């Protein structure tokens, strides 16, 4: 039994070392995940920045209205903040959609190779 465990441990170690030296082309699943993140990440970042900045601007406008009784300044800040926050989802869709078109062929090719 100990020979069997030793052999399995050695095989696992050899396999771990071998994985470090495989060329990038041989690890197609890693490539597929990388391409998928290249498609989605820019849209998520842009939507996050727009949503956060819009929410902060909207909150500052609300504070102006409720705390300092500055209605005109509050509306001047709050309404654009609301619009910016609302634009985050369409921005995500546009950016992700254009990147899907750019990377679709490579992703489909890699996924077909992995499915076979």
Which pLDDT value is given to residue 33? 93
**Phi and psi torsions of 20, nearest 5°:** -70, -25
Going by C-alpha positions, the residue among 86, 98, 105 that lies closest to residue 40 is: 98
The Cα–Cα gap between 28 and 52 comes to: 36
pLDDT, tens digit, for every residue of 92-114? Answer: 999 999 999 999 999 999 999 88
Which pLDDT value is given to residue 87? 98
Segment 50-67 mean pLDDT: 97
Find the Cα–Cα–Cα–Cα dihedral 16, 18, 20, 26, rounded to 10°.
-120
Question: What confidence category does residue 3 fall into, taking pLDDT thresholds of 50, 70 and 90?
Answer: low
How long is the chain?
116
pTM: 0.73
């Amino acid at each position: 039994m100990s020979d069997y465990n030793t052999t399995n441990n050695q095989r696992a170690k050899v396999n771990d070392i071998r994985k470090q030296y495989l060329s990038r082309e041989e690890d197609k699943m890693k490539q597929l995940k990388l391409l998928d993140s290249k498609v989605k990440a820019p849209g998520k970042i842009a939507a996050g920045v727009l949503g956060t900045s819009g929410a902060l601007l909207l909150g500052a406008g609300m504070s102006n209205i409720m705390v300092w009784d500055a209605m005109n300044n509050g509306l001047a800040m709050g309404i654009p903040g609301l619009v910016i926050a609302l634009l985050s989802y369409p921005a995500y869709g546009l950016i992700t959609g254009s990147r899907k078109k750019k990377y679709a062929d490579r992703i489909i090719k890699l996924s077909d190779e992995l499915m076979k």
